[in-house]
Protein backbone atom coordinates (compact mmCIF):
# COMPACT_ATOMS: atom_id res chain seq x y z
CA UNK A 1 0.00 0.00 0.00
CA UNK A 2 1.01 3.60 -0.52
CA UNK A 3 2.85 5.33 2.30
CA UNK A 4 5.28 8.23 2.45
CA UNK A 5 7.74 9.87 4.80
CA UNK A 6 8.96 13.45 4.78
CA UNK A 7 12.06 14.96 6.33
CA UNK A 8 13.61 18.40 6.65
CA UNK A 9 13.18 21.77 8.30
CA UNK A 10 11.71 25.05 7.11
CA UNK A 11 15.13 26.70 6.89
CA UNK A 12 17.32 23.65 6.41
CA UNK A 13 18.93 22.93 3.04
CA UNK A 14 15.97 20.97 1.65
CA UNK A 15 12.87 18.93 2.24
CA UNK A 16 13.11 15.28 1.33
CA UNK A 17 10.50 12.60 0.84
CA UNK A 18 10.06 8.97 -0.10
CA UNK A 19 6.77 7.56 -1.33
CA UNK A 20 6.38 3.83 -1.88
CA UNK A 21 3.60 1.55 -3.01
CA UNK A 22 2.81 3.35 -6.27
CA UNK A 23 2.19 0.65 -8.93
CA UNK A 24 4.46 0.50 -11.95
CA UNK A 25 3.52 2.24 -15.16
CA UNK A 26 1.86 5.36 -13.75
CA UNK A 27 2.76 8.44 -15.84
CA UNK A 28 4.58 11.01 -13.68
CA UNK A 29 6.62 14.04 -14.69
CA UNK A 30 8.35 16.86 -12.87
CA UNK A 31 5.78 19.17 -14.46
CA UNK A 32 2.90 17.24 -12.88
CA UNK A 33 4.36 17.69 -9.42
CA UNK A 34 5.48 21.27 -10.07
CA UNK A 35 1.92 22.22 -11.05
CA UNK A 36 0.61 21.27 -7.62
CA UNK A 37 3.57 22.89 -5.87
CA UNK A 38 3.00 26.12 -7.79
CA UNK A 39 -0.70 26.08 -6.89
CA UNK A 40 0.26 25.65 -3.24
CA UNK A 41 2.23 28.89 -3.39
CA UNK A 42 -0.55 31.02 -4.86
CA UNK A 43 -3.34 32.88 -3.12
CA UNK A 44 -4.12 36.31 -1.71
CA UNK A 45 -2.84 36.85 1.82
CA UNK A 46 0.39 34.91 1.36
CA UNK A 47 3.56 35.90 3.18
CA UNK A 48 6.88 37.22 1.91
CA UNK A 49 8.56 33.84 1.58
CA UNK A 50 6.27 32.89 -1.30
CA UNK A 51 7.71 35.76 -3.32
CA UNK A 52 11.00 33.94 -3.82
CA UNK A 53 10.41 30.30 -2.81
CA UNK A 54 9.68 28.64 -6.16
CA UNK A 55 9.49 24.90 -5.60
CA UNK A 56 10.87 22.61 -8.28
CA UNK A 57 11.09 18.94 -7.28
CA UNK A 58 14.15 16.83 -7.90
CA UNK A 59 13.27 13.19 -8.50
CA UNK A 60 16.08 10.86 -7.48
CA UNK A 61 14.60 7.40 -7.99
CA UNK A 62 11.52 5.35 -8.80
CA UNK A 63 10.64 6.91 -12.17
CA UNK A 64 12.08 5.84 -15.51
CA UNK A 65 11.22 7.38 -18.87
CA UNK A 66 8.21 9.17 -17.36
CA UNK A 67 6.68 6.06 -15.74
CA UNK A 68 6.83 4.80 -12.17
CA UNK A 69 8.95 1.66 -11.75
CA UNK A 70 7.06 0.18 -8.78
CA UNK A 71 9.95 1.01 -6.44
CA UNK A 72 10.16 3.78 -3.83
CA UNK A 73 10.22 7.29 -5.30
CA UNK A 74 12.69 9.67 -3.66
CA UNK A 75 12.37 13.43 -4.07
CA UNK A 76 13.80 16.64 -2.68
CA UNK A 77 12.77 20.31 -2.59
CA UNK A 78 15.49 22.88 -2.16
CA UNK A 79 14.82 25.57 0.45
CA UNK A 80 15.71 28.83 -1.26
CA UNK A 81 15.35 30.70 2.04
CA UNK A 82 18.36 28.74 3.31
CA UNK A 83 20.41 29.63 0.25
CA UNK A 84 19.30 33.26 0.09
CA UNK A 85 20.37 33.98 3.68
CA UNK A 86 23.52 31.86 3.70
CA UNK A 87 25.12 34.01 6.40
CA UNK A 88 22.37 33.10 8.88
CA UNK A 89 20.49 29.84 8.32
CA UNK A 90 23.46 27.49 7.82
CA UNK A 91 24.70 28.71 11.21
CA UNK A 92 21.37 28.57 13.04
CA UNK A 93 20.55 25.17 11.52
CA UNK A 94 24.11 23.80 11.56
CA UNK A 95 24.50 20.04 11.90
CA UNK A 96 27.80 20.47 13.78
CA UNK A 97 28.68 22.47 16.87
CA UNK A 98 26.88 23.02 20.18
CA UNK A 99 24.81 26.12 19.37
CA UNK A 100 26.50 28.19 22.06
CA UNK A 101 27.18 31.03 19.63
CA UNK A 102 23.59 31.60 18.45
CA UNK A 103 20.75 33.56 19.96
CA UNK A 104 18.08 31.20 21.28
CA UNK A 105 14.39 31.77 20.73
CA UNK A 106 12.52 31.63 24.03
CA UNK A 107 9.20 33.33 23.27
CA UNK A 108 6.47 30.84 22.19
CA UNK A 109 3.50 31.88 20.06
CA UNK A 110 0.03 31.06 21.41
CA UNK A 111 -1.75 28.60 19.13
CA UNK A 112 1.52 27.20 17.76
CA UNK A 113 3.50 24.04 18.52
CA UNK A 114 6.24 26.23 20.06
CA UNK A 115 5.65 25.78 23.78
CA UNK A 116 4.37 22.21 23.89
CA UNK A 117 7.12 21.09 21.50
CA UNK A 118 9.84 22.46 23.77
CA UNK A 119 8.18 20.82 26.78
CA UNK A 120 7.86 17.47 25.02
CA UNK A 121 11.44 17.27 23.72
CA UNK A 122 13.04 19.29 26.57
CA UNK A 123 14.55 21.95 24.35
CA UNK A 124 15.86 25.23 25.75
CA UNK A 125 15.45 26.81 22.30
CA UNK A 126 12.19 26.90 20.35
CA UNK A 127 13.92 26.94 16.95
CA UNK A 128 13.83 23.12 16.36
CA UNK A 129 10.05 23.13 16.93
CA UNK A 130 9.50 26.09 14.63
CA UNK A 131 11.49 24.48 11.86
CA UNK A 132 9.83 21.06 11.77
CA UNK A 133 6.27 22.09 12.64
CA UNK A 134 6.27 24.81 9.96
CA UNK A 135 3.74 24.54 7.14
CA UNK A 136 6.75 24.59 4.83
CA UNK A 137 6.80 20.81 5.37
CA UNK A 138 3.55 20.52 3.43
CA UNK A 139 5.52 21.24 0.26
CA UNK A 140 6.88 17.70 0.30
CA UNK A 141 3.50 16.26 1.25
CA UNK A 142 2.02 17.95 -1.80
CA UNK A 143 4.79 16.49 -3.96
CA UNK A 144 4.12 12.97 -2.67
CA UNK A 145 0.35 13.40 -2.95
CA UNK A 146 0.67 14.63 -6.52
CA UNK A 147 2.12 11.26 -7.53
CA UNK A 148 -0.79 9.38 -5.95
CA UNK A 149 -3.09 11.85 -7.66
CA UNK A 150 -1.69 10.81 -11.04
CA UNK A 151 -2.60 7.20 -10.26
CA UNK A 152 -6.15 8.28 -9.43
CA UNK A 153 -6.41 10.33 -12.60
CA UNK A 154 -5.41 7.26 -14.62
CA UNK A 155 -8.48 5.40 -13.30
CA UNK A 156 -10.85 8.37 -13.71
CA UNK A 157 -10.81 9.79 -10.17
CA UNK A 158 -10.33 13.55 -9.86
CA UNK A 159 -9.89 15.91 -6.90
CA UNK A 160 -10.68 19.62 -6.73
CA UNK A 161 -11.11 22.16 -3.96
CA UNK A 162 -12.39 25.66 -3.37
CA UNK A 163 -12.86 28.15 -0.52
CA UNK A 164 -16.20 28.49 1.23
CA UNK A 165 -15.39 31.10 3.87
CA UNK A 166 -12.62 33.48 4.90
CA UNK A 167 -13.22 34.90 8.36
CA UNK A 168 -16.75 36.31 8.45
CA UNK A 169 -17.25 36.22 4.66
CA UNK A 170 -18.71 33.15 2.96
CA UNK A 171 -21.67 31.27 1.55
CA UNK A 172 -24.95 31.28 3.46
CA UNK A 173 -26.07 27.69 3.00
CA UNK A 174 -25.53 24.25 1.45
CA UNK A 175 -27.85 24.84 -1.52
CA UNK A 176 -26.05 28.01 -2.61
CA UNK A 177 -22.78 26.10 -2.70
CA UNK A 178 -24.23 23.13 -4.58
CA UNK A 179 -25.76 25.41 -7.21
CA UNK A 180 -22.27 26.64 -8.15
CA UNK A 181 -20.13 23.55 -7.55
CA UNK A 182 -22.26 20.64 -8.75
CA UNK A 183 -22.52 21.78 -12.41
CA UNK A 184 -18.73 22.17 -12.50
CA UNK A 185 -18.02 18.79 -10.90
CA UNK A 186 -20.22 16.92 -13.39
CA UNK A 187 -17.33 17.07 -15.84
CA UNK A 188 -14.84 16.08 -13.14
CA UNK A 189 -13.51 17.64 -9.94
CA UNK A 190 -10.48 19.09 -11.69
CA UNK A 191 -12.91 21.47 -13.33
CA UNK A 192 -13.69 22.75 -9.84
CA UNK A 193 -10.10 23.57 -8.93
CA UNK A 194 -9.34 25.04 -12.36
CA UNK A 195 -12.24 27.48 -12.00
CA UNK A 196 -11.41 28.18 -8.35
CA UNK A 197 -7.79 28.92 -9.25
CA UNK A 198 -8.97 31.85 -11.35
CA UNK A 199 -9.86 33.59 -8.06
CA UNK A 200 -6.98 34.90 -5.93
CA UNK A 201 -8.72 33.44 -2.87
CA UNK A 202 -9.90 30.27 -4.69
CA UNK A 203 -13.58 31.10 -4.25
CA UNK A 204 -15.95 30.24 -7.10
CA UNK A 205 -18.28 33.18 -6.43
CA UNK A 206 -16.84 36.45 -7.82
CA UNK A 207 -18.69 38.69 -5.35
CA UNK A 208 -17.62 36.61 -2.38
CA UNK A 209 -14.06 36.55 -3.72
CA UNK A 210 -13.93 40.34 -3.72
CA UNK A 211 -15.39 40.49 -0.22
CA UNK A 212 -12.86 37.91 1.02
CA UNK A 213 -9.98 39.98 -0.35
CA UNK A 214 -11.37 43.03 1.45
CA UNK A 215 -11.60 41.00 4.67
CA UNK A 216 -7.95 39.96 4.36
CA UNK A 217 -6.89 43.56 3.67
CA UNK A 218 -8.77 44.71 6.75
CA UNK A 219 -7.14 42.14 9.03
CA UNK A 220 -3.71 42.82 7.55
CA UNK A 221 -4.00 46.50 8.47
CA UNK A 222 -4.90 45.41 12.01
CA UNK A 223 -1.84 43.18 12.16
CA UNK A 224 -4.18 40.22 12.53
CA UNK A 225 -4.67 36.86 10.78
CA UNK A 226 -7.57 34.88 9.34
CA UNK A 227 -8.66 31.27 8.85
CA UNK A 228 -11.71 29.86 7.14
CA UNK A 229 -13.50 26.91 5.60
CA UNK A 230 -12.83 24.99 2.38
CA UNK A 231 -14.50 22.18 0.45
CA UNK A 232 -12.92 19.31 -1.48
CA UNK A 233 -14.79 17.34 -4.16
CA UNK A 234 -13.69 13.90 -5.37
CA UNK A 235 -15.39 12.57 -8.51
CA UNK A 236 -15.23 9.23 -10.29
CA UNK A 237 -15.04 7.26 -7.05
CA UNK A 238 -16.69 3.82 -7.36
CA UNK A 239 -18.99 2.50 -4.65
CA UNK A 240 -17.41 0.30 -2.02
CA UNK A 241 -14.08 1.95 -1.17
CA UNK A 242 -13.42 1.71 2.56
CA UNK A 243 -15.31 -0.66 4.85
CA UNK A 244 -17.92 -0.82 7.60
CA UNK A 245 -16.35 -4.01 9.01
CA UNK A 246 -13.52 -2.42 11.04
CA UNK A 247 -13.37 1.08 12.49
CA UNK A 248 -9.92 1.82 11.13
CA UNK A 249 -10.91 0.95 7.57
CA UNK A 250 -13.73 3.47 7.37
CA UNK A 251 -12.98 5.83 4.50
CA UNK A 252 -14.27 8.97 6.19
CA UNK A 253 -12.16 8.22 9.27
CA UNK A 254 -9.04 7.79 7.16
CA UNK A 255 -9.71 11.05 5.32
CA UNK A 256 -10.26 12.90 8.58
CA UNK A 257 -7.00 11.47 9.91
CA UNK A 258 -4.79 12.94 7.18
CA UNK A 259 -6.65 16.25 7.13
CA UNK A 260 -6.33 16.71 10.90
CA UNK A 261 -2.68 15.70 10.57
CA UNK A 262 -2.11 18.82 8.46
CA UNK A 263 -0.91 22.03 10.08
CA UNK A 264 -3.59 24.45 11.37
CA UNK A 265 -6.59 22.20 10.67
CA UNK A 266 -9.24 22.24 13.42
CA UNK A 267 -12.22 20.34 12.03
CA UNK A 268 -13.51 18.04 9.29
CA UNK A 269 -17.01 17.19 8.09
CA UNK A 270 -18.39 15.01 5.32
CA UNK A 271 -21.33 16.27 3.30
CA UNK A 272 -23.79 18.26 5.41
CA UNK A 273 -21.64 17.40 8.43
CA UNK A 274 -22.37 19.50 11.50
CA UNK A 275 -25.37 21.10 9.82
CA UNK A 276 -27.11 17.71 9.76
CA UNK A 277 -27.24 17.70 13.56
CA UNK A 278 -29.86 20.45 13.48
CA UNK A 279 -32.11 18.95 10.81
CA UNK A 280 -34.73 16.16 10.72
CA UNK A 281 -33.75 12.93 9.01
CA UNK A 282 -35.94 13.63 6.00
CA UNK A 283 -33.76 16.67 5.23
CA UNK A 284 -30.49 14.82 5.76
CA UNK A 285 -30.68 11.37 4.20
CA UNK A 286 -30.49 10.90 0.42
CA UNK A 287 -33.30 8.98 -1.25
CA UNK A 288 -32.14 5.99 -3.29
CA UNK A 289 -33.12 5.53 -6.94
CA UNK A 290 -32.18 3.08 -9.69
CA UNK A 291 -31.25 4.71 -12.97
CA UNK A 292 -29.10 3.73 -15.96
CA UNK A 293 -28.58 0.29 -14.44
CA UNK A 294 -27.04 1.80 -11.30
CA UNK A 295 -28.14 2.62 -7.78
CA UNK A 296 -27.95 6.38 -7.28
CA UNK A 297 -29.05 9.07 -4.82
CA UNK A 298 -31.45 11.93 -5.56
CA UNK A 299 -29.25 14.24 -3.50
CA UNK A 300 -25.77 14.03 -2.00
CA UNK A 301 -26.10 15.37 1.53
CA UNK A 302 -24.13 12.37 2.83
CA UNK A 303 -21.17 13.65 0.83
CA UNK A 304 -20.60 10.39 -1.02
CA UNK A 305 -19.85 8.27 2.04
CA UNK A 306 -22.26 6.02 3.96
CA UNK A 307 -21.24 3.56 6.66
CA UNK A 308 -17.57 4.37 6.13
CA UNK A 309 -17.75 3.45 2.43
CA UNK A 310 -17.96 5.43 -0.79
CA UNK A 311 -21.45 5.13 -2.27
CA UNK A 312 -20.65 6.13 -5.85
CA UNK A 313 -21.63 9.78 -5.48
CA UNK A 314 -18.99 12.52 -5.44
CA UNK A 315 -17.22 12.70 -2.10
CA UNK A 316 -17.64 16.10 -0.43
CA UNK A 317 -15.27 17.01 2.40
CA UNK A 318 -15.14 20.26 4.33
CA UNK A 319 -12.38 21.43 6.62
CA UNK A 320 -11.75 24.31 8.98
CA UNK A 321 -8.41 26.08 9.18
CA UNK A 322 -7.63 28.29 12.15
CA UNK A 323 -6.02 31.74 11.79
CA UNK A 324 -2.22 31.73 11.52
CA UNK A 325 -0.65 31.99 15.02
CA UNK A 326 2.01 34.46 13.81
CA UNK A 327 0.56 37.99 13.86
CA UNK A 328 2.09 41.42 13.39
CA UNK A 329 -0.01 42.75 16.28
CA UNK A 330 1.31 40.92 19.37
CA UNK A 331 -0.67 39.14 22.09
CA UNK A 332 0.57 38.00 25.48
CA UNK A 333 2.83 35.02 26.04
CA UNK A 334 5.52 33.97 28.53
CA UNK A 335 9.28 33.68 28.00
CA UNK A 336 10.24 30.05 28.68
CA UNK A 337 13.45 31.10 30.48
CA UNK A 338 12.51 34.19 32.48
CA UNK A 339 8.84 33.16 32.97
CA UNK A 340 7.91 36.81 32.44
CA UNK A 341 4.92 37.97 30.40
CA UNK A 342 6.06 39.34 27.05
CA UNK A 343 4.61 40.16 23.63
CA UNK A 344 4.61 37.42 21.02
CA UNK A 345 7.41 37.65 18.49
CA UNK A 346 6.72 38.06 14.77
CA UNK A 347 8.15 35.85 12.04
CA UNK A 348 7.45 36.34 8.35
CA UNK A 349 4.07 34.76 7.78
CA UNK A 350 0.85 34.71 5.79
CA UNK A 351 -2.12 36.80 6.87
CA UNK A 352 -4.41 34.09 5.49
CA UNK A 353 -3.06 30.75 4.24
CA UNK A 354 -6.45 29.21 3.48
CA UNK A 355 -6.27 29.51 -0.36
CA UNK A 356 -2.94 27.65 -0.24
CA UNK A 357 -4.17 25.09 2.29
CA UNK A 358 -6.89 23.98 -0.13
CA UNK A 359 -4.18 22.66 -2.46
CA UNK A 360 -2.40 20.91 0.41
CA UNK A 361 -5.56 19.08 1.42
CA UNK A 362 -6.35 18.11 -2.18
CA UNK A 363 -3.03 16.33 -2.31
CA UNK A 364 -2.78 14.80 1.17
CA UNK A 365 -6.09 12.98 0.67
CA UNK A 366 -4.96 11.50 -2.66
CA UNK A 367 -2.96 8.63 -1.09
CA UNK A 368 -5.96 7.74 1.11
CA UNK A 369 -8.28 7.38 -1.87
CA UNK A 370 -5.56 5.60 -3.86
CA UNK A 371 -4.99 3.08 -1.06
CA UNK A 372 -8.70 2.38 -0.72
CA UNK A 373 -8.86 1.87 -4.48
CA UNK A 374 -5.86 -0.48 -4.51
CA UNK A 375 -7.27 -2.41 -1.56
CA UNK A 376 -10.39 -3.17 -3.58
CA UNK A 377 -8.98 -3.61 -7.09
CA UNK A 378 -5.28 -4.39 -6.52
CA UNK A 379 -2.51 -4.71 -9.06
CA UNK A 380 1.25 -4.18 -9.24
CA UNK A 381 1.08 -2.17 -12.45
CA UNK A 382 -1.35 0.31 -13.94
CA UNK A 383 -2.03 -2.05 -16.85
CA UNK A 384 -3.04 -4.81 -14.44
CA UNK A 385 -5.29 -2.44 -12.49
CA UNK A 386 -7.04 -1.27 -15.65
CA UNK A 387 -7.63 -4.89 -16.68
CA UNK A 388 -9.42 -5.47 -13.37
CA UNK A 389 -11.27 -2.20 -13.06
CA UNK A 390 -14.29 -1.38 -15.19
CA UNK A 391 -16.02 1.83 -14.02
CA UNK A 392 -19.19 0.90 -15.90
CA UNK A 393 -19.66 -2.36 -13.99
Architecture of domain 3-388: 4-Layer Sandwich (3.60)
Alpha carbon distance 306, 335 (integer Å): 48
Residue range 30-59, pLDDT digits in tens: 999 999 999 999 998 766 555 555 899 999
Which has the closest alpha carbon to 112: 327, 368, 343? Answer: 327
Residue range 111-151, pLDDT digits in tens: 999 999 999 999 999 999 999 999 999 999 999 999 999 99
Residue range 320-354, pLDDT digits in tens: 999 988 877 788 999 999 999 999 877 666 899 99
Contact status, residue 136 vs residue 79, Cβ threshold 8 Å: yes
Which has the closest alpha carbon to 251: 142, 365, 154? Answer: 365
Residue range 214-244, pLDDT digits in tens: 999 999 999 899 999 999 999 999 999 999 9
Which has the closest alpha carbon to 356: 225, 212, 201, 140? Answer: 201
Alpha carbon distance 55, 226 (integer Å): 25
Contact status, residue 353 vs residue 264, Cβ threshold 8 Å: yes
Amino acid sequence: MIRYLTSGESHGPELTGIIEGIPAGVPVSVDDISLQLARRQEGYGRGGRMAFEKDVPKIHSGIRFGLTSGGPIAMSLENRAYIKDEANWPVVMSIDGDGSDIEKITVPRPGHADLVGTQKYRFDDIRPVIERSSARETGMRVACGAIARNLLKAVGIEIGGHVLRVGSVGYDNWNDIRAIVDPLSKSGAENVFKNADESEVRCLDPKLSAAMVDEIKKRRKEGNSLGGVYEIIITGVPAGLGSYVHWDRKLDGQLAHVIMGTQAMKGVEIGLGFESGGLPGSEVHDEIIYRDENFQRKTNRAGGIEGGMSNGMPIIIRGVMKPIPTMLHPIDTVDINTKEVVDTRYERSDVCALPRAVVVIENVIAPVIANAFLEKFGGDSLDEILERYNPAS
